[in-house]
Structure 1
Amino acid sequence: MNQRILPAIAYAIAGAALACASLAHAAYPDKPIRLVVPYPPGGVGDTVSREVGQQLAQRLGTQVVIENRPGGKLVIATENVARAAPDGYTLLLASVSSFALNPAGMKSLPYDPRKDFAPVSRLFDAPLILVASPSLGVDNVKQLIAYARSHPDKLNYGSIGAGSSTHLAAELMKADARIDLTHIPYKGSAPAIADLLGGRIQMMFDGGPSSLPHVQSGRLKLLAVTSAKRFSYLPEVPTVAESGLPNYDVTPWWGIVAPAGTPQPIVDRLAAEIADITRNRVLRDKLGKQGVELVASTPAEFGALIETEIARWTRFFKQTGISLDDE
């Protein structure tokens, strides 16, 4: 065959492939999208996923099916999406737990958040709040730390489970403030709050919706929020950082990722739609009352956040000796 013809054929084949890929991207989506949520129905992750999924479905002109796959420290759902086809039709609700805490605190995982996924967008934050029993007689974080130092081994704190953000938030305070705190893990927020109200534990970090009604009734005292900046829906409440521990920041975050290899035009399209959804004032106010702050990002920004958080929590686990394999 003429040597001049061969390059021409190669260019033609490559051009045809690019044209087909462009057409496929232009047609996206032409079938339902599966959004895998690693939590049972009813929790904050599920609630926000359904709200955002409904908005995304309207914008994309296709159905967004929420698939709940709880269990296994979020590993079951995460691994499922890591092995899915990279075509934009399977997405995952990722979180600081599955994409930073697990990789930093567990020796072995069946997925790699860096290699197995394409970041799409950060989606929302849900800062924790620090609540304490009024019987302690403390009004802020500085007074709580002073009490802990003058009453060693006298402060018990509850969490929604070992290895959870509510557990690690207290352990980070314990390390930063150099105080003694005793961990009492519970299977969820409700039994922990019940024991806090009953006096078995004296403090806990918790999500706002379960604790704020007791703050409003005067049965619990709200000391601080855990995020680096004040939560927009509790603007009068100081952060832990501005209350005596300047480097403190525990901001549970969630975002959307796709399997690695998902075409960039699809990733960018999804990121742009999500960014528009998070700017919806009605939705922001609705979720804000549930302790949620919608926060979008570019794919690159979300990827950088994941890298930063893995490094940060890896240092924390090495410093404290805590291992999530033991929990």
Structure 2
Amino acid sequence: MNRRNACLQLGGLALAAAAPWARAQDPAAFPERPLRIVVPFAPGNTLDTALRQVAEEFKKNTGQPLLIDNKPGGSGIIAAQTVMSAPPDGYTLLLANTSMFTVNPHTFARLPYDPEKNFKPVSNFLGASMVMAVNNSVPANDIKEFVAWAKAHPGKVSFASFTAGNSSHFAGVLLNQRAGIDMVHVPFNGTPPAVTNLVGGQVDAAFLPLLAVKPQVDAGKVKVLAVTSPQRSALMPQVATFREQGYPDLEIYIWAAIAAPAGTPDAVIARLNGEFVKILRSAELKEKWKTMDFETLPSTPQEFTRFAQADSKRWAEAVRISGFKASE
């Protein structure tokens, strides 16, 4: 082989190697293979249903599946590190929640990721409130009765969260601080085990999305004492809000957003944003999510950045007031 042909062949190999990256930056060509979305919860979490509904539409619209990769634990840190170290080509995404982007930075002294530096937002995704549910053996039907019971049993009342260091954990910390009680925190990796242990009586109370416990409430196995939303839930209008019961600091709105690794080309981000926003704006999906007490939150990347920054300020103040810090 002469030198000219060898150079041409090497040049061709280099172009071939670069081709997938070049195509990834072309919004008309992207996506050309399945995408992976890393979720910080175990399978069966209440977000799974919503995410799978979106994945179905994503495949219909793009021809490519959106594969769900569950990476629970570590207050979302495991999932965040998985995505931040992935190639920034748009094929690995993160379903980030409230805690990962706006609570963790204030509760962990050392966080191995930076929400703004290590990720690029694609769109906000979903919003929901939580409820405080208790096992049927708990002799309380509202927050006033629960607080009185907890005060009579200091250090013996427990509450579950769907992972340590997130909003469901922090809700219990706030209630402890505001009501002057001493509930013991019991973290789980996701809502299913938290619900199972609540029903079984291994924990007395839990802060969870309404969808996670509604079947158990309907079956008469657990009770809901309060909701964290500003208004009562249409799915359970008989239950008063925390604000109505004298605890305005427990007005907590949880959300999830879609993000990509930092360095992902803007053209790919724009393409992903267009696909997800189209799905989230559909009237059919909005109606489906209403039955789950979820709200669609389509946004531009810039809108999400402003949203997250405002929410982070709110959590910074809540963390400061409570004095809570996550263990390393």
TM-score class normalised by the smaller sequence: 0.7 to 0.9
TM-score (structure 1 length as normaliser): 0.78
Q: CA deviation at 1:81?
A: 1.6
Per the alignment, do residues 62 and 22 of structure 1 end up closer, same or farther by CA in structure 2, a change over 3 Å counting? closer
The letter for the 1-side match of 2:165 is: G
The letter for the 1-side match of 2:160 is: S
Counterparts of 1:197 and 1:84, CA distance in 2: 39
The letter for the 1-side match of 2:104 is: N
Counterparts of 1:286 and 1:198, CA distance in 2: 30
Name stretches of at least 5 consecutive residues in structure 1 with no aligned partner: 1-19
Residue among 276, 301, 304 paired with 2:303: 301
Aligned to 2:41: 39
Aligned to 1:70: 72
The letter for the 2-side match of 1:157 is: S
Cα displacement string for residues 142-199 of structure 1 (whole angstroms, at most 9, x for unaligned residues): 5545x36974737723113542432211212233x34213214154656655665576
Counterparts of 2:80 and 2:172, CA distance in 1: 26
CA RMSD of aligned residues (A): 3.3
Aligned to 1:83: 85
Aligned to 1:185: 186
Aligned to 2:94: 92
Cα displacement string for residues 112-132 of structure 1 (whole angstroms, at most 9, x for unaligned residues): 101111111111124221123
Greater Cα shift, 300-309 or 259-268: 259-268
SS in 2 for 1:241: coil
The letter for the 2-side match of 1:33 is: L
Is 1:123 aligned to residue 125 of structure 2? yes
TM-score (structure 2 length as normaliser): 0.78
Per the alignment, do residues 220 and 32 of structure 1 end up closer, same or farther by CA in structure 2, a change over 3 Å counting? closer
Aligned to 1:159: 160
Q: CA deviation at 1:55?
A: 1.2
Q: CA deviation at 1:306?
A: 1.9
Name stretches of at least 5 consecutive residues in structure 2 with no aligned partner: 1-21
Counterparts of 2:241 and 2:159, CA distance in 1: 20
Q: CA deviation at 1:301?
A: 2.1
Per the alignment, do residues 140 and 174 of structure 1 end up closer, same or farther by CA in structure 2, a change over 3 Å counting? same
- Number of equivalent positions: 305
In the TM superposition, 1:250-289 aligns within 5 A as: 250-289=252-291
Greater Cα shift, 186-195 or 72-81: 186-195
Identity over aligned residues, as a percent? 33
Per the alignment, do residues 134 and 280 of structure 1 end up closer, same or farther by CA in structure 2, a change over 3 Å counting? same
Aligned to 2:9: none
Q: Is the 8 A contact 1:36 1:91 kept in 2?
A: yes
